[in-house]
Amino acid sequence: MSGDAITQQAIQTAAEAIQTGVEALAALISAGRLKTDIEGMTLNADVVDLDVEAITGTGAAAKTLADLVSAIEALSGGSVVSIATAPVEVTAGNNKDLLEGVSAPGAGKAIWLLGVACTATVDGTIKYHDAGGTKRSGTMSIMAKGGHAIGYSGNAIMPAIMFGTNVKPQVDLVTCNIGGVGLYAIVSV
């Protein structure tokens, strides 16, 4: 197995582990069973009194961690429908779909990129935009066999890049081809 294949396999394994962790945290929050030790203090989602107004500026009151998550979701403008990974296999050119096999999500939904990691075949550049033409990043250099990454967000409502409604994430690649994995959420907006 080549070094690139091993790297891609490791990236895929890491992305799947992150996805599993995000899903587990979401389930714990939904069930009201999340407990965290913060500097020796136990935070119990069933009894904690959170000042959501001070944290989010929404003017809302919260008694549980789930209330805080709901307030943050409201601020983000969307609620998560699903979280998934997809291969990234893109050849040089403009207006290329980033996530292999992922369609536009449909009316009232958007794709939010939680993270991406890939390697490049040769030196080149990458720029993110959506299929509607809205620019989502500047032009970034990629070095041959080096790669490119946007750090994975462990929170689907705080994505690395939010793409427009009912459009696919796309990239422009100059010179290089890229291969890797993307972690994304489908969000109702």
| Chain mean position to CA 122 | 26
Which pLDDT tens digit goes with each residue over 140-155?
Answer: 999 988 888 888 776 6
Q: What is the pTM of this model?
A: 0.62
Report CA-CA distances (Å) from 6 to 2, 10, 26, 115, 129.
6, 6, 30, 19, 29
| Dist CA 58 CA 75 (whole Å) | 8
Which of 14-23, 109-118, 159-168, 170-179 shows the lowest per-residue confidence on average (mean pLDDT)?
14-23
pLDDT at 165: 92
CATH number at residue 82: 2.60.120
SS3 14: helix
> What is the pLDDT confidence band of residue 15, given thresholds at 50, 70 and 90?
low
Would you say 153 and 160 are in contact if contact means Cβ atoms under 8 Å apart? yes
Which one of 59, 76, 93 terminates a domain? 76
> Do 102 and 167 fall into the same domain?
yes
| Dist CA 4 CA 179 (whole Å) | 9
Whose tokens are 């998934």? That residue is: 84
Which pLDDT tens digit goes with each residue over 30-70?
Answer: 555 554 433 333 344 444 444 444 544 555 544 454 555 55
Residue 8 belongs to some domain of the structure: no
